[in-house]
Amino acid sequence: KQEVTQIPAALSVPEGENLVLNCSFTDSAIYNLQWFRQDPGKGLTSLLLIQSSQREQTSGRLNASLDKSSGRSTLYIAASQPGDSATYLCAVLMNTGNQFYFGTGTSLTVIP
């Protein structure tokens, strides 16, 4: 069974700092990988989706990379802002189609 792990579980940084969130998965037979953000008591907002054939995707200050063979993805946030404070989740869609596994999440706090 696929296991998706995120490190660190929690991260606190001062405003303006660049940071990296890590996501690792045990089964590389994935179709795509998504990064989400969740604010307290809210649903999930999709940030970036990387197809298994892609190496990275960028949106604004966010850059996500994927190394499928080693089972790793990173989410890079440039020039962090207090509004970036949230829990970040990665999730993988398996090649079989319906199975979608979430990571354990990283709780980010950006200090003004």
Partner 1 sequence: GAVVSQHPSWVICKSGTSVKIECRSLDFQATTMFWYRQFPKQSLMLMATSNEGSKATYEQGVEKDKFLINHASLTLSTLTVTSAHPEDSSFYICSARQAVLPYEQYFGPGTRLTVT
Interface residues with partner 1 (CB under 8 A) are 31-32, 34, 36, 41-46, 49, 51, 89, 91, 93, 98, 100, 102-105
Is the CB of 11 or the CB of 49 nearer to partner 1?
Answer: 49
Q: Give me the DSSP letters along 17-66.
A: --EEEEEEES---EEEEEEEEE-TTS-EEEEEEEETT-SEEEETTEEEEE
Burial class (CB within 10 angstroms; exposed 0-12, middle 13-18, buried 19+) of 28: middle
Question: And the tokens for 64?
Answer: 């996500």
Q: Which of 9, 79 has the CB closer to partner 1?
A: 9
Shortest distance (Å) from residue 28 CB to partner 1 = 18
Comparing CB distances to partner 1, the nearer of 51 and 74 is: 51
Min dist CB 19 to partner 1, Å, is 20
CB of 44 to partner 1, least distance (A): 4
Contacts of 1 by beta carbon, 8 Å cutoff, 6+ apart: 27
Q: Shortest distance, CB of residue 69 to partner 1, whole angstroms?
A: 20
